[in-house]
Amino acid sequence: MELFVFVCASVMVLVGALGVIFRKHPVHAALSLVLTLFGIAVLFVAQSAEFLAAVQVIVYAGAIVILFLFVIMLLGVDKAENLQIEPLTGQRWIAGVVGLGMVGLLTTAVVSGSDVLRLRGLGIANSVTGENADANIQQLANSIFSDYVFAFEVTSVLLVVAVVGTVLLARRRTGKGIA
């Protein structure tokens, strides 16, 4: 069963990822990105990370891709590009070789290091098979709000700074100095 889920989700992920880099139309690329993000969410569920799967669907597919589509429509760049033109001669060949080399190196590293993965922590609660349906969320909340509570507060500051900075960046200049 897990094999079936893995194969289906990885097909979704890879088809979506290839769609992002090969579709001419930016809107189609954004929709392919949604396919990839849903595939990743399925893989999260398969690995008993249910809370992260929900956050993945809500934040990535629900907010970030919508933001991409907003900007595409706002800038009016929603027309197909001509991908036949190669800006730098031979660059795509070299990029393909670099990508294949990266796959080879990372796969070699992962396979040769696979026996290092040993049980270390206290165990991850499984919400699906366990009797407590909120086990994953409770465990994650224990980790975030006790061990990483300072980092959590810093991310809230980061979000405020990002929102204020973006409002300043994207507003129209009125011509009256900085105000």
Contact partners, residue 126, CB within 8 Å, separation at least 6:
48, 135, 136
Site for other proteins in 30-69 (CB under 8 A): 30, 33, 36-37, 40, 43-44, 47-49, 51-52, 55-56, 59-60, 63-64, 67-68
d(CA 48, CA 130) in angstroms, rounded, equals 11
In the bound state with other proteins, the residue whose beta carbon lies nearer, of 114 and 177, is 114
178 lies in the binding site for other proteins (CB under 8 A) = no
- Position 179 contacts other proteins (CB under 8 A): no
Q: Which of 21, 27, 59 is nearest to 40 (CA)?
A: 59
Among 84, 89, 90, 111, binds other proteins (CB under 8 A): 111
Torsion angle, alpha carbons of 31, 37, 39, 45, to 10: -150
Smallest Cα–Cα separation from 31: which of 80, 23, 8? 23
Closest separation in Å from C-beta 100 to other proteins: 8
Question: Could you give the angle at the alpha carbon of 165 between the alpha carbons of 32 and 157, nearest 5°?
Answer: 90
Question: Which residue among 84, 89, 90, 122 contacts other proteins (CB under 8 A)?
Answer: 122
Q: Which of 8, 73, 124, 133 binds other proteins (CB under 8 A)?
A: 124
Q: Where are the alpha helices (DSSP H) in 47-90?
A: 50-55, 65-75
The helix/strand/coil state of 173 is coil
Nearer to other proteins, 52 or 176 (CB): 52
Which residues inside 88-107 make contact with other proteins, applying CB under 8 A?
A: 91-92, 95-96, 98-100, 102-103, 106-107
Nearest approach, Cβ of 164 to other proteins (angstroms)?
10
Please identify which residue in 73, 77, 128, 133 interacts with other proteins, judged by CB under 8 A.
Answer: 77
Question: How many residues of this chain bind other proteins (CB under 8 A)?
Answer: 81
